[in-house]
Structure 1
Amino acid sequence: MQLGLFLGYQTAASSPAHHLSLTQEAERLGYAVAWAAEAYGSDSPSMLAWLAGQTSRIGLGSAVMQIPARTPATTAMTAATIDTLSGGRFRLGLGVSGPQVSEGWHGVRFAHPLARTREYVSVVRMGLARQRVQFDGAHYQLPLPDGPGKALKLGFHPLRSEVPIYLAAIGPRNLRLAGEVADGWLPIFFSPEHAAAQLSAVRAGQAAAGRQGVAFDVAPSVPVVVGDDVEACAELVRGYAALYVGGMGSREQNFYHQLAVRMGFGEAAERIQELYLAGKHREAAAAVPLAFLDQTALLGPVARIADRLQAYAEAGVTTLSVIPFAPAEGAAETLRAVAAAAERAAIGG
C-alpha cells in the first residue's frame, strides 16, 4: 500500500503556498501522489499544472475533475497536457458531483449519471489515444449529426496515450461501473470493516467487462489526526463528517448519508441530517458516532495509526491518501507521522 496526499480545495485556510509546501514535503517523504479537488471554487487542473512545474517525482491526480463541468474532449485535452507537462505523472479522477452543483453551478441536468459517465470515459479514452473521435451515444454525439462538424483527433502527441482514470463512486452501481471502465476508485468514508461488499461490486464490474486481474487502484482519502487521546482527535473530524452525512445534498438525495446508512449508522445518519438541515451544525457534529469516525479516519498515536494502516492494506486499499486535519503549521508533521506509521506497519511508502 502506497501513501498519498489529499490537498482538497484552495481556501482561505489552505493557500496555494501551503498546498505547494505540503506536496513538496510529501514528495520528499516518498508519497506516491498528491490529489487536488474542485467543487465550485478553485479548479483542480490549474492547481495540478502549477504543482507539476515545482515537483519532479510525485504523482498528481484530480480528485476530481467534474464531469458536468467539461466536455469529454476538453477533459482529454487537459489530461494529455498536464500529463505531458509533468512527465507522465498525471492521474485523471472523475466524478459527476451532485445535483446541487451540477444543476446549480454548471447548468447540467443530473440525469442518468451512470450512463453519462460510461460514455464520458469512452470519449476521453478515445481522445487520449489520438483516435478520431466518433461517438454515437445517448448523451454524447461526436461529431453532431446535423452540422458541419468533422471527426477530429488530439492535435499533439501526448507523452502517454493512456492516462489512469479513476472514478469517485459511492453506491453499488457506481462501484460496479468503476470496475467496468476505470483503473481506480476514489472512495470517501472508506471503512476497512465495510470494504468487502464495496470491493465485491468493483470485482463484479471487472468480471462483466472481462477485466479480471487488471490492476486496479483502491485509493481512499482518509482524515488523519495524530494525538494521544483518540476521542479528542475525533472531535476535529466531527464537523467534516456532519457536513457530508447531513448537509452535502438534499434530504432526498445525499449519497454520503446513504453510505452511512449502509454502514449500519442509519439512526445516527437521520439525526445528523435532521440537525444539519435545520442549521444546527454543532449539534449535528456532536451527533456523529465515535465509531463512525474511528472506522473512517486515522485517529490517535502513531502506533495506533500503524495498526489501522495495516487494516486498510488488508482490506484491499492500494493507495491511502492522507487528509491532514491539523493547523497549517502541523500538516507537514502529520505527513511525517503517517510515513513513520507506515514504516512501522511495514506496508510500503
Structure 2
Amino acid sequence: MRIGVNLGYWGRGTTGADQVALAQAADRLGYDSVWVAEAYGSDSPSMLAWIGALTEHVDLGSAVMQIPGRTPAMTAMTATTIDTMSGGRFRLGLGVSGPQVSEGWHGVPFRHPLGRTRDYVEIVRAAVRRDTVSHDGPYYPLPLPGGPGKALKLGSRPVRADIPVYLAAVGPKNLELTGEVADGWLAIFFSPEHAGDLLAALETGRRRGGRGPIEHAMTGFDVVATTPVVLVDDVAAAADHVRDYCALYIGGMGSREQNFYNQLACRMGFEDAAARIQDLYLAGRHREAAAAVPLEFIDETALLGSPARVASRLGRYEAAGVTTLSVAVGGGMTRDEALTTLDVVARVAGLEPPGPAA
C-alpha cells in the first residue's frame, strides 16, 4: 500500500504556503503522491502546478477538479500542461461536486450526473490522446451542431497519451461508473469495516467495462482513501480535531434531500446520528452538530491516537483493498504539527526518502 498526502484546500486555517511546505516535506520523505482539493475557494490545478515546480519526485493529484467548473477540453489542456511540465507526475481526479456548488457557484445544472461524468471522461481521454475530438452525447456536443465550429485535436504534444483518471464517488451507481471508466477511486470517510459493498460496486463496474482481467477485475485499479491523522494519545481528544470536518460534510454539504455524505453515514449504520447532525447543522447549530458525530464513526474513518496505535491500525486499510492511503493532516494543526505528523507517519509506514531525481 502506497502512502500519499491530501492537502485539502486553503482558506479554512490553512494557507497556500502551508500546502507547499507539506508537499515539499512529502517529497523528501518518500510519499507517493500529494492531492489538492477545491470547493469554491482555492482551485486545485493552480496549486498543483506551483507544487510541481517546487518538488521533484512526488506525484501530483487533483482531488478533485470539479466537472461543472470546466469544459472537458479545458480539463484536458490543464491536465496535459501540468503533466508535461512536471515530467509525467499528474493524476487527474474528477468529481461532479454537489447541487449547491454546481448550480449555485458554477451555474451548471446538476441533472444527470452519471451521464455527464461518462461523457466528460470520454472526451478528456480522447483529447489527451490527441484524437480529433467530436462527440454526439447530449451533455457536451462537439462541435456544436449547426455552427461554424470544427472538430479539433490538442495543439500541444503531451509527454503521456494516457493520464490516469480518478473519480470521487460515494453512491453505489457512481461507484459502478468509476470502476467502469476510471483508473482509480477517490474515497472519503472510508471505513475498512464497511468497505465490502463499496469495493463490490467498483468491481461490478470494472467487469462491465472490461478494464481488468476477468479473474482479478481490480488489478491495476487504484483505491485512494483519504484519512485524517491526529497524533493525540487520547483517542476521544484526537477525534475532537476532526469533528467540525465530519459535521460539515454529513450535515451541511448538500441539501436535506440530497447529501451524499449523509447517505453514506446512513449506509454505515449511523442513521440516527446522521439525521441529528444534519438537523443541527442546517439549523445553524454547528458546534452541537460537531458534538453529535459519534466517536465510533470518527475512529473508523480516521487514524487517531499515539504513533503506536496509528501504526497498528494502518494494516486495516491494506487488508480492505486500499492501494493508496492518502493521509490528511489538518484538523486545526499548526504547520509544525502537520510536518511532525508527516514525519511520524513516514516512519511507522516504513517510507524511504527518494534518491536524486533522474
Report the TM-score, using the length of structure 2 for normalisation.
0.95
1:310 to 315, 321, 335: 315
2:210 maps to 210
Q: Secondary structure at the residue paired with 2:350?
A: helix
User: Which whole-Å CA distance do the structure 2 matches of 1:101 and 1:117 have between them?
Assistant: 16
Q: Distance in 2 between matches of 1:181 and 1:253?
A: 24
How far apart are the structure 1 equivalents of 2:347 and 2:84?
32
> Of 335, 345, 349, which residue of structure 2 is paired with 1:328?
335
* 1:119 aligned residue: 119
Q: How does 1:197-236 map to 2 (within 5 A)?
A: 197-213=197-213, 214-236=219-241
Q: Name which of 341, 344, 348 aligns with 2:348.
A: 341
Q: For structure 1, which segment, 44-53 or 10-19, has the greater mean C-alpha deviation from structure 2 after superposition?
A: 10-19
Q: CA deviation at 1:341?
A: 2.1
% identity of equivalent residues:
63
* Secondary structure class of the residue paired with 1:141: coil
Partner secondary structure for residue 25 of structure 1: helix
Mapped partners of 2:178, 2:345: distance in 1: 28
User: What corresponds to 1:172 in structure 2?
Assistant: 172
Q: Residue 87 of structure 2 aligns with which residue?
A: 87
**Matched-pair contact (CA < 8 Å) for 1:302–1:340:** no
Query: For residue 355 of structure 2, what is the aligned residue in structure 1?
Result: none
**Contact map agreement 1:203 1:212 (CA 8 A) in 2:** no
CA distance in 2, matches of 1:212, 1:165: 15
Residues of 2 paired with 1:196 and 1:245: CA distance?
21
What is the alpha-carbon distance in structure 1 between the residues aligned to residue 50 and residue 125 of structure 2? Answer: 24
Pairwise CA distance, 1:308: 1.5
Q: In structure 2, do the counterparts of structure 1 residues 202 and 12 end up closer, same or farther at CA, with 3 Å as the change threshold?
A: closer
Distance 1:116 1:12, change over 3 A: closer
Give 3-state SS (helix, strand or coil) of 2:56's partner.
coil
Q: For residue 46 of structure 1, what is the aligned residue in structure 2? A: 46
**Distance in 1 between the 2:53 and 2:334 partners?**
26
Q: Which amino acid is 1:274 matched to?
A: D
Aligned partner of residue 117 in structure 1, secondary structure: helix
Q: What do the CA deviations read for 1:111-150 (whole angstroms, capped 9, x no partner)?
A: 0000000000000000000000011002111111211111
Kindly state the Cα deviation for residue 12 of structure 1 after the two structures are TM-superposed: 5.9
Equivalent residue pairs, number: 345
> 1:77 maps to what in 2?
77
Residues 189-225 of structure 1 show CA distances to partners (whole Å, capped at 9, x for unaligned) of: 0000011110000000000111233411000111110
Task: Tell me if 1:284 matches 2:289.
Answer: yes
Deviation for aligned residue 1:243:
0.8
Structure 1 stretches of 4+ with a deviation exceeding 4 A read: none
TM-score, normalisation: structure 1:
0.97
Q: Are the aligned partners of 1:257 and 1:269 in contact in 2 as well (CA < 8 Å)?
A: yes
Contact 1:220 1:321 in 2 (8 A): yes
Q: Secondary structure, in 3 states, of the residue corresponding to 1:92?
A: strand
Q: Cα deviation per residue 1:224-275 (whole Å; 9 max; x = unaligned)?
A: 1002111110111111101110111111110000000000000000011111
3-state DSSP class of the match of 1:329? helix
Q: Report the Cα distance in structure 2 between the residues aligned to 1:212 and 1:79, rounded to whole angstroms.
A: 24
Q: CA deviation at 1:343?
A: 2.4
SS at match of 1:94: strand
Give the match for residue 104 of structure 1.
104
Instruction: Spell out the pairing of 1:134-145 with structure 2 (5 A cutoff).
Output: 134-145=134-145
Unpaired runs of 5+ in structure 1? none
Equivalent residue, structure 2, for 1:183: 183
Give the partner amino acid of 1:277. L
* 2:299 is equivalent to residue 297 of structure 1: no
Larger mean Cα displacement after TM superposition, 162-171 or 320-329? 320-329
